[in-house]
Amino acid sequence: MTDWIAAAAALRPETRLFIDGAFTPAADGATFDTIAPRDGSLFAEVSAAGDEDIDRAVRGAATAFESGVWSRADRRTRQRVLLRLSELMLENLDELALLESIDSGHPIGDSRNVDVPNAARTIRWYAEALDKIYDEIAPTPESALALVTREPLGVVAAVVPWNYPLIITAWKIAPALAAGNSVVLKPAELTSLSALKLAGLAAEAGLPAGVLQVVPGIGRVAGQALGRHPRVDKIAFTGSPAVGRGFLTYAGESNGKQVSLELGGKSAQLVLADVEDLDACASAVAWGIFYNAGQTCHGGSRLVVDARVHDELVEKVIAVGASLVLGDPLDESTQIGTIASAVQLERVLSYTAVAQSEGVTVSGGERIRPTGLAEGYYVEPTVFDHVDNTGRIGQEEIFGPALSVTTVDGPEEGVRVANESAYGLAASVWTSDLRTAHRVARDLRAGTVWVNTFDVADVITPFGGVKQSGSGRDRSLHAFDSYTSLKTTWIDLGRGSRY
């Protein structure tokens, strides 16, 4: 078994910006601290991109795009480089996983067995798709030929969050690069280290200089500079609704660049009275919100349950939550790691007082300190029962291991309550009746609806939301729609004679 704590102590991660194929400090020498949430310690000081750095990165990406070194490269060339990048990620599996766990507080077992392999698979999947996508011929009159082809947009700014840094990075950069764009990647300031490692691997794989730029920085500086830059053609953002609306404003005030947004959720698991297996349901409900300490955009944070099975199901969910091993992310036995930062920890803990003010029954929710760790951002699984769905606990995205429970009477009321949210990222329905499952799945307003399961996903299916959960889709072949434009080429074949 690997001594991950010793391995972490021996790490010397890259902390500089990656611009035009080389690592470089910020122009003004600015840095920010990377704090390890497992123990609250300072792990690294990372270069903080300012306006000058962002301008240089964007212009370098635009120059690379216009040169055609990547944008007009043969598809098989792009395919070969991206396949090699996927291979290099797996060859550097342990280091990437360790960087993810140190930065985000995600358990090392999940980082090593889920996060890095899934990110590598995403890049491989889009690479393999490149020579399997066909353009179109429109049904013109015989006197003309009209071709409909896809072209890359230009410079794509990918701004990613801290909860699943490498996976969500791959969701955005893999189709963008495969399509021939240049990408300026801004990782979250809490979790920049794996992105910088990825940049080095991309260069080693043969990605030309300037095609992938990585610019860690403070959101209100680096993120805003990207949003307003006139040479950026597209913003692909995952994060909070407030910041997402900011990017829409920046786009409108600059060059009208395209913006796709994934802005979180308050996803409902609707459990009907005829649910077949309460034990399986309870396990899925618990894992659906407590996994990654509840820091999952589509986490099943609302349990909307028929009154006839409420008591038994809630009891089972609490028992599953209590059985999960909460501890040091660098311990391979840990199932639930930390909250990502001290600020987020305080936000999560503050909702216990909100719940009490709303008359909600609270189970769990205490900050804990695992054995051997004096500090760190750990919160035990929390169940808020008897929640008024219209109150703050029912409506606000807590983004921690906190489940709100609301009781309903039958599927009609269940659908109404489940849809009673500003968000619409995901949902589920639990029932043994196939007709009911189809009707409810149709009526739930969400980008993804699971039936008798939760959080089963793959790159082959699109992911995104409706309402305030955003617009656009990550994953699947549909993601190419976000990173390409359609060009019509109309050819006059002449009138009269066919020859």
Place of tokens 């074949």: 493
- In the residue annotation, 281 being an active-site residue is answered as no
Contact 191, 104 (CB under 8 A): yes
| Strand 382-385 to 402-408 pairing | parallel
Closest CA to 445 of 462, 420, 476: 420
Specify whether the CB–CB gap between 120 and 39 falls below 8 A: no
Per the listing, tokens 């690997």 go with 2
Choice among 262, 281, 380, 397 that is catalytic: 262
Residue 106 Cα distances to 162, 313, 321, angstroms: 10, 27, 17
- At residue 226, φ and ψ (nearest 5 deg) are -65, -45
Residue 158 Cα distances to 42, 223, 302, 449, angstroms: 27, 10, 30, 26
CA pair distance 355, 393, nearest whole angstrom: 6
Cα-flanking dihedrals φ and ψ of residue 294, to 5°?
Answer: 75, 5
Say which amino acid occupies 298. Answer: H
Torsion of CA 151, 69, 48, 221, to 10 degrees: -30
Which tokens go with 254? Answer: 């600059």
- C-alpha 282/C-alpha 309 separation (Å) is 11
Q: How far apart are CA 215 and CA 59, in angstroms?
A: 13
List the catalytic residue out of 14, 100, 189, 297: 297
- Going by C-alpha positions, the residue among 286, 237, 284, 243 that lies closest to residue 262 is 237
CA distance linking residue 220 with residue 232, whole number of Å? 17
Active-site residue flag, 262: yes
459 neighbors 128 (Cβ within 8 angstroms): no
The amino acid at residue 106 is H
d(CA 109, CA 446): 30
DSSP 17-46: EEETTEEE--TT--EEEEEETTTTEEEEEE
Residue 325: Cβ-neighbour burial (10 angstroms; 0-12, 13-18, 19+): exposed
Tell me if 208 sits within 8 A of 199, measured CB to CB. Answer: no
Active-site positions?
Answer: 262, 297
